[in-house]
Amino acid sequence: MLVSPHDILLPAFQTGKLVGAFNTGNLEMTLGIIRAAEQLGTPILLQIAEKRLPHSPLHLMAPMMVAAAQQASVPVAVQLDHGECPGIIDQAAQAGFTGLMFDGSHLPLDENIAHTQAVRERYPALWLEGEVGVLGGSEGGPEAEALHTCPAQAERYAAESGCDCLAVSIGNAHGLYNGEPKLNFAVLEEIRRRLPNMPLILHGGTGIPARDLQRAATLGICKVNIATASFAALRRAAAAAEGDYFAMSEAMVQAVCDSTLAVLEAL
């Protein structure tokens, strides 16, 4: 069933639990993610990042994602991930997405706040995720230099931007990690101290050990974003597939399902 992220994330935040948010790029990924959630009876978020849209056009992806959520036997929220362009944000909202992320983390804080406020004013009823601090790695674009979230800036952003939840940078990164990631829990603890009532979000979840995810959950993290693991599973299944297209398609669906199950079982 299609729900707001509010209905999934707030209960998780209040009880110290983690929710998986899985990025998709095509039909097989979408089917695999939903299949895993249904098998475990687990609410999830289904997402697509703006930088994926040249390969996965939103006017095609959005109706499929919303329909998949509507027909799922578990609660599924559909969210735009790392939205920057106002036109794309508008398109996602008008297509029935129940959550939006405005990513102004690369902007000066004042501009980040102002742009987030503008999204909030346009869509007051939709769940809105913001971000302060820059993640390392790549989200389909150039490599970024990591910049940990400044707790004081996070506090000001949360107070002024109108966001419902906040993505933070504490050593997490998009893409594959070189070795085991080292999360800066001291920064997270300070953010949590300053923002005890703000749900926090961890991007770049692929490769973060379960023990670190569980510790993060005790410090306000309630959503973990996963993309790299799903894309990697899809690619491996496609490369190994034999037979006709339909066999290859089912192999890709099941591979993403298995990858998603592994994540959900670790949360």
Q: Which residues form the catalytic set?
A: 81
The answer to whether 110 and 21 are in contact (CB under 8 A) is no
CA dihedral in degrees (82, 88, 90, 91; nearest 10)?
-120
Whether the CB-CB separation of 147 and 169 falls below 8 Å is answered with: yes
* H or E element that contains 158: helix 151-161
Structure tokens at 4: 């707001």
The whole-angstrom separation of Cα 162 and Cα 92 is 19
Closest CA to 172 of 129, 130, 131, 207: 207
> Which residues share a beta bridge with 194?
none
Name the residue type at position 177: Y
